[in-house]
Copies of this chain bind each other. A is one copy, B any other.
Amino acid sequence: MDYQAILNIIEKELESFEDEGKVADYIPELAFVPSDKFGMHLHCIDGGDYSFGNSDEKFSIQSISKVFSLALAKKHGSKIWKRVDVEPSGDPFNSLTQLEKEKGIPRNPFINAGALVIADILVSCLDNPKKDLLDFVRLIAQDDDIHYDEKVASSEKKHGYRNIALVNYMKALGNINNDVDDILDFYFYQCSISMSCHQLAKAFMIFANEGRIMGTEEKAIKSNSTKRINAIMQTCGFYDEAGEFSFRVGLPGKSGVGGGIVAIHPHQYAVAVWSPLLNEKGNSEKGMRALEELTTLTGLSIF
């Protein structure tokens, strides 16, 4: 498969894409990002790298970080599934309604409530939660030039009323063990990680490659875990648009409000795309389109 040729077609086709999306503006740091950024990077299981545009420029990965924290919790053998479910939510990512109906058990680890429970789990089992998470991401990406963005983290903290509400609500319902401030501090840092498409594609290879780190072939997590995490990405990776992504793209993936999307084709490749303009469900409009083109042009998806 000539991935570079395919990426070139995608880049060209989307030059004239009429993007009706909007940059996320709930924190100023995200609103400042130029809306015309566009990059894509595909890392193949044979080691090949293919890309275009701003694929080496870092951006705020936001919710994509939820896949890393879940993987790290699994790596530490944590009991997760009594405290978080694995069902799609059918509601916006920061909804409190379902939480009320379901007694504090979030629908899945990729909505904010679920990610906060995972954060609680990590705060319990890690010695230095923030350092340990960053080390894990650097390890699987085989790249030490990955950092938290302090400005983004502190801005999230300043405007994070809804997440404060979520974690306090779950505390009231008995599904939070640690101090809420510790959890929120960790969570806001986690979301602030900056990475490029290139780095994300490499890091996500563990999910395409049965848990093995590209290059070293070291097992970062069990292959059994990657199967499960991929399944959750498939059904829950795009908030209340998970079905639409599955329908159009046909790959497990995860998006973030920074405009990034990562998807994987098991045993084939991991691919990351970045375009900051979001549709009304909070997913990158052009990013989804680029990935739809990818599976259409390759003729291959998991289905």
Interface residues on A, range: 35 or more
A303 touches B100 (CB 8 A): no
Q: How far is the CA of A98 from the CA of B101 in the complex (A)?
A: 12
Contacts of A89 in B (CB 8 A): 90
B90 touches A107 (CB 8 A): yes
Contacts of A280 in B (CB 8 A): none
Q: How far is the CA of A166 from the CA of B240 in the complex (A)?
A: 23
A88: interface (CB < 8 Å): yes
Q: How far is the CA of A85 from the CA of B165 in the complex (A)?
A: 22
A227 touches B303 (CB 8 A): yes
Chain A 271-303, CB-CB to B under 8 Å as 1, else 0, gives: 000000000000000000000000000000111
In the assembled complex, the CB of A59 is this many whole angstroms from the nearest CB of chain B, namely 24
Which of B107, B162, B234 is within 8 Å of A303, CB to CB?
B234
User: At the interface with chain B, which of A133-141, A241-249, A255-263?
Assistant: A241-249
In the assembled complex, the CB of A270 is this many whole angstroms from the nearest CB of chain B, namely 13
Q: How far is the CA of A244 from the CA of B86 in the complex (A)?
A: 6
User: At the interface with chain B, which of A15-23, A46-54, A142-150, A168-176?
Assistant: A168-176
Instruction: Given A168-B161, A169-B165, decide whether A236 and B232 contact each other with a Cβ distance below 8 A.
Output: no
A interface secondary structure, majority: helix
Which of B85, B90, B226 is within 8 Å of A88, CB to CB?
B90
A88 touches B244 (CB 8 A): no
A151: interface (CB < 8 Å): no
B252 touches A303 (CB 8 A): yes
Contacts of A247 in B (CB 8 A): 86, 228, 231-232, 235
Chain A 79-97, CB-CB to B under 8 Å as 1, else 0, gives: 0000001111111000111
Contacts of A241 in B (CB 8 A): 87
Contacts of A231 in B (CB 8 A): 243, 246-247, 250, 301, 303
Instruction: Given A91-B90, A96-B169, decide whether A243 and B302 contact each other with a Cβ distance below 8 A.
Output: no
